[in-house]
Structure 1
Amino acid sequence: MLHRTFTVALAALALGAPAYAQTVSMPFTLDWRFEGPAAPYFAAIDNGHFAAEGIEVEITAGQGSLDAIPKVATGAYPVGFADMASLIKFLDQNPGAPVTAVMMMYDKPAFAIVGRISRGVEGPEDLEGKILGAPPPDGAWAQFPAFASANGINVDNITIEPVGFPTREPMLAENRVDAITGFSFTSFLNLTRLGVPADDLSVILMADHGLELYGNAIIVNTDFAEANPQAVTGFLRAVARGLKDVVADPEAGIAMLVERNPAADTELELERLQMALDQNIITDWVRENGLGNIDSDRFARSIEQIRETYEFQNEPEASLYFTDAYLPDDGSLSFE
């Protein structure tokens, strides 16, 4: 696990930043390691976008959404990156916790089933009668019942093989299971690195097959946001600009990432970034509506899908989980 952190502290006024009395410190916790999809945040540092907003940003690696959310809720970090379904459950279990999502980054979550075509798995309908490898704590596995329901799959006709995260892809590569649950870009790339031909892999993105859930979002401590609304909006604008930089020049974005994580495989992380951009971030909906916001009807349906596998302690209330109040309205979120 990578624990190095990196800080930008540039002269904001010299770059034409808003005239803040002083630079606002906004430490930012990721949900995972410094991998390809994190490149936009480093581009926002290196290309001066945070500094132009009068913000000092320190980025720290994380250990999953269930690590990032409490860090923000307790105020240890004012901003973070976490899965929306995990945030909804956290707020249900911790009513009144000062944390909410303010910018959707993964319009489509990366939850997926990755199967071997040579073992007869090409689409959802092929899973019955097969062996599915699933780590019990896996986020994609947590969504599998809703995915199965949406596709009319009888889970009783699938042999579920509990596997560990380190053995998940090797077991599929060795044909000990027919398919696995996981993040699309992670499992696919791990399998190709294990020698499985790419044309023998089917990536069944749950979001393309009835799963209405949203993916990862930028979350904020609401106490911090209420006290620093301009800084939060500036942070989101800088992230959008960093993302645009990486879309325009993915190789440069990965070079910035590798500076922070020298052990990273440049080619692998470039592939991982491109898959995340194409499948999860710059979707057709984002091109039409812009980055960061959500569709309220879809969000309501997604909450009902969560209810299929999770018993709410309190009646869910969409306004607790996401607000668009801090999104910039200057066109910086457009990806036409």
Structure 2
Amino acid sequence: MMNRRAFLAASAAAAALPALPRTARAATPLVFQASWVNDAEFSGYFLGIDEGYFAAEGLDLTYLSGGPDVIPESTLVAGRADLTLTTPDTTIKAISEQGAPFRIIGAQYQKNPLGIVSLAKAPITTAQDLVGKTIAVPPVNTISVQAMLAINGIDPASVNIVPYAYDPTPLIKGEIDASLDFTTNVPFTIESMGEKAVSVLLYDLGFTIYNDTVVVTEETLKTRRPELVAWLKAARKGWEANLADPAVWPPKWMDTWFKGTGRSIENEIYFNTAQKPLIGAPGGIFSMTEEDIAKNIAALDRVGIKGRREMFDTTLLEEIG
């Protein structure tokens, strides 16, 4: 064993040697699947990537755009992504009925932006207003509308539900009475076509669920917890910076993230501004309170989707404060 004098001499000699360069820590790859095509709905992530927030947390983030043909949960099962954004109704249904190994670890939208959009000259602002009317609904959201009708005691047979292809033209032409879409976006499109739109959130009609819930598999939650916490931290920072002034960032992405979408920057600013009150939360962006989790479970139960508290994991959010 080296005695004290020898140890001190060796230490002094080592201190005199030139310092070796430090090796930079390699960033950890992480793949994130968005739930729709690039628009203001994902502004916080765009900003986080561009401003280096994810990189600062040690992540090499790959962003995958979504679209009408993308089923977010399927990308997790297939191993193409590590985390994704979903609607809690489809995710919880998959867990409860198919045994899917998913966990919800955060919620981008505290209040689901999906709502009923109609024309001001023939407004639909209550659930009862839908009786005898025709509403166009994307197939993936049929469960949500059925839940809202059940909550309000309305016979689904009294409402004519037809498929919706994310195009407000049938509403403008009077072929339908309303459509189900993002209230943060479609009213702008309708008004640019010369009509005044009105909208009401499904959330405000009693279907009290989140949207763009952050979902991972149980295996990812177990094996990649530090990376998931880092993602939540960086994504929250990106959203906070974006929502500080919703008009600042969309113009910067005209030739990058928003290139080729066919949407105007004015539309994206409208969207970004309209979503601000739906995302913000006293506990911080992505937070999930016990009260709101209970509301989600109760709302889904009305249409036979059996949610349980353990399907939601709030412990990662607690680690970022």
User: Could you tell me the TM-score, scaled by structure 1's length?
Assistant: 0.79
Equivalent position SS for 2:184: helix
Describe the shift of the 1:103–1:270 C-alpha distance in structure 2 as closer, same or farther (beyond 3 A). Answer: same
Say if 2:174 is the partner of 1:135.
no
Give the whole-Å Cα distance in 1 for the aligned partners of 2:290 and 2:24.
34
Aligned to 2:106: 103
Gaps of 5+ in 2: 1-22
Say if 2:314 is the partner of 1:324.
yes
Residues 42-191 of structure 1 aligned to structure 2 (within 5 Å)? 42-63=46-67, 67-95=71-99, 97=101, 99-129=102-132, 131-135=133-137, 137-139=139-141, 141-158=142-159, 160-167=160-167, 169-191=168-190
Aligned-pair CA distance for 1:190: 2.8
Describe the shift of the 1:281–1:202 C-alpha distance in structure 2 as closer, same or farther (beyond 3 A). Answer: same
Aligned to 1:225: 221
Give the whole-Å Cα distance in 2 for the aligned partners of 1:164 and 1:204.
18
Equivalent position SS for 2:315: coil
Aligned-pair CA distance for 1:328: 5.0
Say if 2:300 is the partner of 1:306.
yes
Letter in 2 for 1:309: V
* Contact 2:84/2:216, CA 8 A, preserved across alignment: yes
Gaps of 5+ in 1: 1-18, 332-336
| Stretch deviating more after TM superposition (235-244 or 60-69) | 60-69
* Contact 2:108/2:214, CA 8 A, preserved across alignment: yes
Aligned-pair CA distance for 1:250: 2.5
* Contact 1:113/1:180, CA 8 A, preserved across alignment: yes
Count of residues in correspondence between the two structures = 296
* Contact 1:39/1:256, CA 8 A, preserved across alignment: no
Give the whole-Å Cα distance in 1 for the aligned partners of 2:231 and 2:24.
14
Out of 209, 212, 226, the residue aligned to residue 213 of structure 1 is 209
Equivalent position SS for 2:247: helix
Give the whole-Å Cα distance in 2 for the aligned partners of 1:65 and 1:84.
18
* Contact 2:135/2:161, CA 8 A, preserved across alignment: yes
Aligned-pair CA distance for 1:105: 0.6
Equivalent position SS for 1:108: coil
Out of 39, 42, 56, the residue aligned to residue 38 of structure 1 is 42
Aligned to 1:12: none
Letter in 1 for 2:308: E
Q: Which has the larger radius of gyration?
A: 2
Describe the shift of the 1:246–1:61 C-alpha distance in structure 2 as closer, same or farther (beyond 3 A). Answer: same
Aligned-pair CA distance for 1:108: 0.7
Equivalent position SS for 2:207: coil
Describe the shift of the 1:224–1:121 C-alpha distance in structure 2 as closer, same or farther (beyond 3 A). Answer: closer
Equivalent position SS for 1:309: coil
Describe the shift of the 1:64–1:327 C-alpha distance in structure 2 as closer, same or farther (beyond 3 A). Answer: farther
Equivalent position SS for 2:116: strand
Give the whole-Å Cα distance in 1 for the aligned partners of 2:161 and 2:185.
19
> Which whole-Å deviations, capped at 9, do the CAs of 1:211-258 have from their partners, x for residues lacking one?
122211122233233222222111100000000110123234213543
Describe the shift of the 1:86–1:156 C-alpha distance in structure 2 as closer, same or farther (beyond 3 A). Answer: closer
Describe the shift of the 1:248–1:304 C-alpha distance in structure 2 as closer, same or farther (beyond 3 A). Answer: closer
Residues 188-267 of structure 1 aligned to structure 2 (within 5 Å)? 188-197=187-196, 201-258=197-254, 259-264=256-261, 265-267=264-266
Give the whole-Å Cα distance in 2 for the aligned partners of 1:33 and 1:117.
28
Give the whole-Å Cα distance in 2 for the aligned partners of 1:65 and 1:108.
25
> Which whole-Å deviations, capped at 9, do the CAs of 1:7-48 have from their partners, x for residues lacking one?
xxxxxxxxxxxx995321111110110101111101111111
Equivalent position SS for 2:134: strand
**Moved beyond 6 Å, runs of 4+:** none
Give the whole-Å Cα distance in 1 for the aligned partners of 2:228 and 2:316.
6
* Contact 1:43/1:256, CA 8 A, preserved across alignment: no
User: Could you tell me the TM-score, scaled by structure 2's length?
Assistant: 0.83
* Contact 2:112/2:210, CA 8 A, preserved across alignment: yes
Give the whole-Å Cα distance in 2 for the aligned partners of 1:33 and 1:232.
23
Aligned-pair CA distance for 1:154: 4.4
Letter in 2 for 1:185: T
Out of 259, 279, 282, the residue aligned to residue 281 of structure 1 is 279
